[in-house]
A and B are shown apart, each in its own frame.
Chain A
Amino acid sequence: MNPENQNPLFETPEISGKPSVRIIAVGNAGDALLGALSMVEFAGAEFAAINTDAAALAASVAPVKIHLENKLFRGLGSGGDPERGRALAEEQFSTLKSACEGANVVFILAGLGGGAGSGISPVLAKAAHEAGALVLAFVTLPFECEGNRREAQAQTALEQLKATADGVICLPGQKIFKLIDENSTLIETFQVTGGFLSEGVRGVWSLLTRPGLIQVHFGDLCALLRDRHAENAFAFVEASGPGRAREVAEKILNHPLLDEGRALAESDAVLVSLTAGKDLTMAEINRVMEQVKRQCGHAQIVMGAAADAGLKEKLCVTVIAAKSNAQPVSVTPRGENRSLVPAAAGHREPAGSRPRTRRPGSKPVQGQLPLTIVSKGRFDKSEPTLHRGEDLDVPTFIRRGIALN
């Protein structure tokens, strides 16, 4: 579909092999999310946990534990204050940087809203950048019932994270809240959240590590997520058997995180990655993409396909839909974002992904120029006369496109 992607000239030695991925959990929520990931699946990835709370860190499953400590905290953590988390992280910037050293890609798992997650994650993203890694953050936003302050902290942290990380995939807790039933326990709720997020991580993971037939590059992914991720929706679905393509398409359109497909319709960029056994057929890809395209409307679509013998009959599809924010939460962080983009781009330039971020799989959409608006003369101010979708006030010969000469 896009041969450029497989052009070896554009590949850098760094990415052409299997990228080394480090998954770093930040804060208590990050730890919990890390716990929800089954480590076996991410063979080759390195795991680490960063926390300010010594007790929680001790309980973490991560093989590498980094304890950010300051005498002032007395081992009690950041106390829900992101400023303290941030100050601490900046103080120990070199520790964070060394933790990221040697990785091509760093995934940050965090729950925003608290002290550690909100404070440390943006700094960690910056540190990872400086260590030469691409950064993708998977974060959850707090539930509405957790209060305004946490919500505000989470939003600020999200903006900061967007400015420093290459891509942010965020899962608002409130969205999960709508999906679970009344009787779910708190633990179950968190499991669901963790499950969804780990599905996302898994999807992106397989996107990057499995040999791609139609490759999606990390650069494509970042370009897709950067700047428009006010809120992205993502879904990971799988099906097996003869009708798997149809089943997968159906599942995507009914996926709760995609608002039954509405998220696709509202998004303006969609990434679809299909992974299946060696028997993946073009017709199957076509069938899935057809459905997604129909839903998406004008969205830019980036599509990738990969084969993995280990999946046998299974077909896994990851969908990430990014929606641009109609009303930016705050102006300054966005400006900050802009100023940081060139720096981030500098990092990616060796990967050669920038020149083709727009092209892969995207359907050119004809924009409407303001020139096409026909003056309605004396009916300009009056209520338009609409009849079966046509504005009858516009001269007939214009609407029918009849040239007079």
Chain B
Amino acid sequence: MFDDSNIIAGLEIGTSKICVVVGEQNQNPDGALNIIGLGQARSRGVRKGEIINPEQVEEDLRTALFEAEQMADVEIRSVYLGVSGGHIRGFNNRGVHPVVSADREISQDDVEDVVKNAKAINLPAENTVIHAVRQHFFVDGQDGVTQPVGMLGARLEVDMHVIHGHANRLQNIVRLVRATSLEVDDVVFNGIATALALLTNEQKELGALVIDIGGGTTEFVVYSDGVIRHSGVLAVGGDHVSNDLAYGLKVPLSRAEKLKLEHGTAMPTEAAKGQSLSITNELGLELKRVNVGHLQRIMSLRLEELFQLIAQDLEQAGLTDYLRAGVFICGGGSRVPGIVQLAENVFQMNVAPGHATAISGLTTALDQPEFAAAIGLVKYGSLKNRRRAARPSLVSGIKGVFGKILPRS
């Protein structure tokens, strides 16, 4: 295991690309994290965040790993694995525990019991918990207690945010990574990793929404009062935009992809109305003319809908008013011109493109919104290592329950 090592790697197998980020943790007490390596490869065996062709994924994964190892000049033996997919859901659950000791003082055991109660949830049989994140304790109904041990009370409650997903699908990806003789330190939901990379503690305290628009999926996570409040995945991403364009403009998918990158925008412009664009073959002969106005409309509608779905979800969860730090967008989708303005229109609040500011190191890596999740994975790993070093008998705020079902070597 990596306990004694200071190299941490994060692996994200995305729909459009596979990326590996290598970080180095200082051995000094502050444990600062530095990103030292980066590898990426085009992903060809993934749809909507889920593997459809394991062999291809394995090949691409080796390419990305090799690149990262070369750059960081280290050997990667284990990774923190990011997962996503439409099957992943998050919800809040409350656990209740009566304090039974004679003096009504809440002990560590009571805390462990109440956390256990909160985790005892009714999941479909085929689902497994990826994260169970503690939010706040309630002592006799008193809200917002973060450390109840030593307090007096009759009734201890805790809110947990539980993220769960389909066990077999999660296992598939884990098995695949292990097949490349890599160890999986932990499985982490991409949304949480992204939020870790993007948000500072202050922003988490104020309340923020992080949206990671990937190739096949869009993850969103809401933090407020310093804890995760809400999370979700929509199996809609950049691929859908390309597909819409291919369908609407009647061009091949590869051409649609190119048009999206070259002429795409989230906000239709007046100037583009009625304009057309000629598609030429490699010899410069015109093949087809494409209406730029249509292109922009199609793209804008899809992205707008994506934001609206998230906004609706937050509205239902009653979280819209808690996002005082605003909305942060990252992932490949955040490169679309005008996306910030579109999101501002939909959410009616401050929107900023997310940068992995919560970490230092290679600026080339940190500046790219696509790498946020992988960088977050490294940070997740470093936090976990630090916590393990500090408190061997950990009662961690974030605890990878999924790790338990992986046989450790």
Contacts and interface: CB of A to CB of B under 8 A. Distances in A.
Nearest to B256: A377
Contact of B309 (A378, A387, A402): A387
Contact of B234 (A382, A387, A402): A387
Contacts of B247: 374-375, 377, 395, 398
Contacts of B309: 387, 392
Interface residues of A, number: 19
A325 interface: no
Nearest to A400: B301
B48 A395 contact: no
B32 interface: no
25 contacts: A374-B247, A376-B243, A377-B246, A379-B239, A379-B243, A382-B47, A382-B48, A385-B234, A385-B235, A387-B309, A392-B235, A392-B236, A392-B240, A392-B309, A393-B240, A395-B243, A395-B244, A395-B247, A395-B248, A395-B298, A396-B244, A397-B248, A402-B297, A404-B248, A404-B291
B332 interface: no
A387 B308 CA distance: 12
B52 interface: yes
Contacts of B239: 378-379
A380 to B, nearest CB: 10
A378 B234 contact: no
Contact of A396 (B47, B48, B253, B302): B302
Contacts of B244: 395-397
A396 B234 contact: no
Q: Closest 8 A-B residue pairs measured CB to CB? A: A395-B244, A385-B235, A377-B243, A396-B301, A396-B302, A396-B305, A404-B294, A397-B301
Interface of A: 374-379, 382-383, 385, 387, 392-393, 395-398, 400, 402, 404
A249 to B, nearest CB: 36
B239 to A, nearest CB: 7
Contacts of B294: 404
Contacts of A400: 301
Interface string B231-264: 0001110011001101110000100000000000
A397 B240 CA distance: 12
Nearest to A405: B294
Task: Identify the interface centre among A375, A376, A383, A402: most chain B CB within 10 Å of its CB.
Answer: A383
B86 interface: yes
Interface string B193-228: 000000000000000000000000000000000000
A393 B247 CA distance: 11
A400 B300 CA distance: 13
The prevalent SS among residues of A at the interface is loop
A393 B253 CA distance: 15
Task: Identify the interface centre among A393, A395, A404: most chain B CB within 10 Å of its CB.
Answer: A395
Contacts of A397: 244, 248, 297-298, 301-302
Nearest to A379: B243
B243 A378 contact: yes
A376 to B, nearest CB: 7
Contacts of B304: 396
Contact of A378 (B235, B253, B297, B302): B253
Given A379-B48, A398-B248, 18 more contacts: A377-B243, A379-B47, A379-B243, A382-B52, A383-B86, A385-B86, A385-B234, A385-B235, A385-B236, A392-B235, A392-B305, A395-B244, A395-B247, A396-B302, A396-B305, A397-B244, A397-B298, A397-B301
Contact of A404 (B236, B297, B305): B297
Contacts of A392: 234-236, 240, 305, 309
B98 to A, nearest CB: 39
B251 to A, nearest CB: 11
Interface in B291-340: 291, 294, 297-298, 301-302, 304-305, 309
Interface string B111-152: 000000000000000000000000000000000000000000
Nearest to A375: B247
A15 B91 CA distance: 68
Nearest to B85: A383
Nearest to A382: B47
B253 A377 contact: yes
A385 B298 contact: no
B245 to A, nearest CB: 9
A378 to B, nearest CB: 5
Contacts of A402: 297, 301
B259 to A, nearest CB: 14
Contacts of A383: 48, 86
Contacts of A404: 248, 291, 294, 297-298
B116 to A, nearest CB: 33
Interface in B47-101: 47-48, 52, 86
Contacts of B86: 383, 385
Contacts of A378: 47, 239, 243, 253
Contacts of A387: 234, 309
Contacts of B48: 379, 382-383, 385
Contacts of A375: 247
A402 B244 CA distance: 13
Contacts of A376: 243
A318 B318 CA distance: 51
Contacts of B236: 385, 392
A393 B236 CA distance: 8
Contacts of A393: 240, 243
A133 B301 CA distance: 65
